[in-house]
Amino acid sequence: MIERPVTAKDRIILALDVDNLKEAENLVKDLKDYVGYFKVGLPLIVNYGFEAFRLLEEHGAKCYYDCKFHDIPHTVQKACISLVKNNVNFFNVHIQGGSKMTSAVVRASRAAAKSMGIEPPTILGVTLLSSFGQKTLTTELCVDKNIEDFVLQLAKVAKDTGLDGVVASAEEAKRIRKEIGEDFIILCPATRPTWSSVNDQVRVDTPRDAIMAGVDFMVVGRPITTADDPIGAANLIIDEIETAMEDKKVLC
């Protein structure tokens, strides 16, 4: 498993949501000392496949693969085995794929790691996309629960089936942390400092919100990657996290 974050920098996962490998490389070179991980998602994978992972390896940067696998158990477990064999040790799957799928993923990924003599991967469960609000959940997915209850139920499925943690908003993280405990990774997928816009996200949180709610990792993208001074923007977010961490110590 990956190490739990200690410093403010370690908690930041920078989203490489670009479709050009050179642009991704420039971001990695410039920011690898200011963030803990780089998130690889669909834009890079569709265009470059495993080259995106090799790029991070070459620069000594750590990867979080935001694959969001959601398919029948056999298909997803085969895909996850391939990730493990390619040294991708931090990724996610959709909990809404069901307990059979998540259980199969955990078993197969751990078995693959054991056969290779390496540490098992850290696998998170995606609860509900940050672009979803209550209206979408109710009217389109026909789920007769409020978002917090729905996400908590999915988090319990994740825990019961062996996943290492979940992807959820800070607001939802409060109940997850309270009911599931400290030994469970929570990653906030849509973190926006107070000085940035929310873009196409609906359920967003500030770095302070995330820390106070007990979140371990937070994904930050455009507030850093599109800033005139990306390093300066990253440092502002690090300062905000450090302040929140100190305040939380006082409150506890």
List Cα–Cα distances, 228 to 12, 14, 38, 223, 238, in angstroms.
19, 16, 19, 10, 17
- Cα separation, 171 vs 148, whole angstroms: 8
Active-site option among 68, 135, 145, 178:
68
Residue type, 187: L
Instruction: Yes or no: say if 224 and 230 are a contact pair by the CB < 8 Å rule.
Output: yes
Q: Is 68 a catalytic residue?
A: yes
Look up residue 100 and give its two tokens: 């059979």
Look up residue 247 and give its two tokens: 């305040």
List Cα–Cα distances, 120 to 23, 57, 98, in angstroms.
31, 18, 21
**Pairing mode of beta strands 217-220, 12-15:** parallel
Provide the 8-state DSSP code for 192: -
Instruction: Yes or no: say if 91 and 67 are a contact pair by the CB < 8 Å rule.
Output: yes
At residue 37, the 3 state secondary structure works out as strand
Gyration radius of the chain over CA positions: 17
Active site residues: 68
